[in-house]
Amino acid sequence: MTLSRFESSYIYDLDVVTASIQLLRSQLPQDSTLLYSLKANPHPHVVEHVANQGTGLEVSSEGELQIATTAVSHRERPVEIVCTGPGKTNAYLQLAADAHAIVSIESSTELSQLRRLKLSGLDILVRINASATTQRSGLQMTGTPSPFGVDEEKAEHLIREVVDHGHNFRGVHLYMGSNILSEDDLINQFQISTRIAARYLDHSSGDFIADLGGGFGHPFAGPGPTPSWPGLQERLEDVTEPLKARHAQLAFESGRYLVGSCGSLQATVLDIKESKGQRFVVLSSGVNHLGGLTGLRRLPQAQVTSAQSHNADDSERLVGPLCTPVDVLSKKSHTQLTVGDIIVIPNVGAYGLTASLGNFLSHPYPPEVIRLGGQTIVTTQTQVTHQELIPA
Ligand SMILES: *Cc1c(COP(=O)(O)O)cnc(C)c1O
């Protein structure tokens, strides 16, 4: 197949993923479990490669669980899969039971669902929404009213229900924020999650799992190295001592840190226009390929790296090909591009294509090129179909 008819493509380099996993592991306590969050990039080849490095998988939907089970089906030793997410469907819970996955329960409704599905004896974590507000950077997902998990005050009751329903209470799950860049902020949240987890050590019948969350930050859609925190491992060893002393299994979750740097988006300059003093660079990729959260004021502020990129004085907008004013990749760019140039947006291996508005305006999905050992091993393209569910 030739890629030349495609103006845009995503490229994922799996060797970079291997290095990022090693880098994060070297900053976590010895013997802790690292779970990869498929939300960041659920491409089957990426997931399989990540799992081959000995990580577990954290999934939050039926679709992600299907990808995860397929990716690990050929492995001899079972790979730990943790099913998370609010509003679990019956199909998701059934598949979780079939896959012998660990389920992170968010509410007693989910326990009633399991009972109606006649599923018992599952390994269950209880997800807790911590009361403390923690970090200043990143996206906060806890400490405030939250659709995720149960409030701290209700956790004990839910744990008792888990046991009453005939399941194995295996431990707790906390996830306090995303994209945290400061070592102190990371330590601060792990102090809180450790303190909460330690309260429930005696409630578990088997080995206690303390899934302490993650939130390890990473640059997005612009240049920048994968961060590292020189004191993190040693400080985490200290912080988690109350759990380690009781032989709890520590688990950490990460999406963007593990795969953010592996991916780049290549796009073509299709047009350059001038309107009332503003220069518009029209790319072959817009919010259908990257940063579809623009409409929610989460503008990616993409920065391109390309041979032509330089600090020109006149600022310009990078826009996509969609017929909507929200299709902006960057409000301010300083390049000197011409039509036909290829631009590269780095650090989009996480929250790239599947976090975008792929179906909007029905452009084709860009090919996704998977590279390993300096070679392309496979190229895929997502197809959108409309299958008839109830034949006429
Ligand atoms: C989104 C999410 C993650 C992954 O977040 P990253 O910032 O990509 O590391 C992990 N766990 C839970 C519960 C999440 O919702």
- Decide: 214 in ligand 1 pocket, CB within 6 A: yes
- Decide: 140 in ligand 1 pocket, CB within 6 A: no
User: Residue 375: beta bridge partners?
Assistant: 372
What percent of the chain lies above the pLDDT cut of 70?
92
Report, as an integer, the average pLDDT of 221-240.
Answer: 97
Residue predicted with more confidence, 326 or 92: 92
In this predicted structure, the answer to whether residue 295 has a pLDDT above a threshold of 60 is no
Q: What is d(CA 353, CA 222) in angstroms, rounded to the nearest whole number?
A: 15
- Decide: 104 in ligand 1 pocket, CB within 6 A: no
Q: Number of H helices and number of E strands within the chain?
A: 10, 19
- Decide: 149 in ligand 1 pocket, CB within 6 A: no
Give the pLDDT confidence score for residue 144 in this predicted structure: 72
- What's the CA-to-centroid distance between 256 and ligand 1, angstroms? 8
Ligand 1 pocket test: pick from 20, 23, 27, 39 the residue with the most ligand atoms within 8 Å of its Cβ.
Answer: 39
- CA angle 23–257–191, rounded 5-degree value: 85
Report, as an integer, the average pLDDT of 119-127.
Answer: 97
Residue predicted with more confidence, 296 or 96: 96
Report, as an integer, the average pLDDT of 253-258.
Answer: 98
Say which residues have a Cβ less than 8 Å from residue 42's Cβ, sequence separation at least 6: 63, 64, 67, 354
- Nearest atom of ligand 1 to the alpha carbon of 39: 1
**257 within 8 A of 351, measured Cβ to Cβ:** no
pLDDT band of 308, cuts 50, 70, 90:
low
Tens of pLDDT along 184-199? 999 999 999 999 999 9
Q: What is d(CA 295, CA 341) in angstroms, rounded to the nearest whole number?
A: 27
| Cα dihedral across residues 360, 365, 366, 369: positive or negative | positive
In this predicted structure, the answer to whether residue 3 has a pLDDT above a threshold of 70 is no
Q: What is d(CA 194, CA 197) in angstroms, rounded to the nearest whole number?
A: 5
What percent of the chain lies above the pLDDT cut of 90?
79
Indicate the helix (H) or strand (E) that contains 140: strand 139-140
Give the pLDDT confidence score for residue 381 in this predicted structure: 97
- Nearest atom of ligand 1 to the alpha carbon of 217: 7
In this predicted structure, the answer to whether residue 205 has a pLDDT above a threshold of 90 is no
Residue predicted with more confidence, 278 or 313: 278
In this predicted structure, the answer to whether residue 167 has a pLDDT above a threshold of 90 is yes
Choose the weakest-confidence range: 40-44, 311-315, 342-346, 388-392: 311-315
User: Residue 279: beta bridge partners?
Assistant: 274, 316
- What's the CA-to-centroid distance between 255 and ligand 1, angstroms? 6
Q: Helix H segments across the chain? A: 14-25, 44-52, 62-72, 90-98, 108-116, 152-164, 183-198, 232-239, 241-244, 256-259
CA distances from 163 to 59, 157, 174 (A): 23, 10, 19
Choose the weakest-confidence range: 119-128, 129-138, 153-162, 283-292: 129-138
Q: What is d(CA 89, CA 113) in angstroms, rounded to the nearest whole number?
A: 9
Mean pLDDT of the chain: 91
Give the pLDDT confidence score for residue 302 in this predicted structure: 73
In this predicted structure, the answer to whether residue 310 has a pLDDT above a threshold of 80 is no
Report, as an integer, the average pLDDT of 29-51.
Answer: 97
Report, as an integer, the average pLDDT of 59-69.
Answer: 98
Q: What secondary structure letter does DSSP report for 216?
A: B
Give the pLDDT confidence score for residue 294 in this predicted structure: 47
Give the pLDDT confidence score for residue 314 in this predicted structure: 63
Give the pLDDT confidence score for residue 272 in this predicted structure: 95
- Decide: 48 in ligand 1 pocket, CB within 6 A: no
- What's the CA-to-centroid distance between 173 and ligand 1, angstroms? 12
Q: What secondary structure letter does DSSP report for 276?
A: T
In this predicted structure, the answer to whether residue 183 has a pLDDT above a threshold of 90 is yes
Choose the weakest-confidence range: 2-6, 95-99, 270-274, 319-323: 2-6
- Decide: 37 in ligand 1 pocket, CB within 6 A: yes
Task: Name the closest-CA residue to atom 13, ligand 1.
Answer: 175
Ligand 1 pocket test: pick from 253, 259, 351 the residue with the most ligand atoms within 8 Å of its Cβ.
Answer: 253
Tens of pLDDT along 135-147? 555 555 556 778 8
Ligand 1 pocket test: pick from 64, 142, 175 the residue with the most ligand atoms within 8 Å of its Cβ.
Answer: 175
In this predicted structure, the answer to whether residue 2 has a pLDDT above a threshold of 80 is no
Q: What is d(CA 325, CA 84) in angstroms, rounded to the nearest whole number?
A: 35
**105 within 8 A of 126, measured Cβ to Cβ:** yes
In this predicted structure, the answer to whether residue 42 has a pLDDT above a threshold of 80 is yes
Task: Name the closest-CA residue to atom 6, ligand 1.
Answer: 255
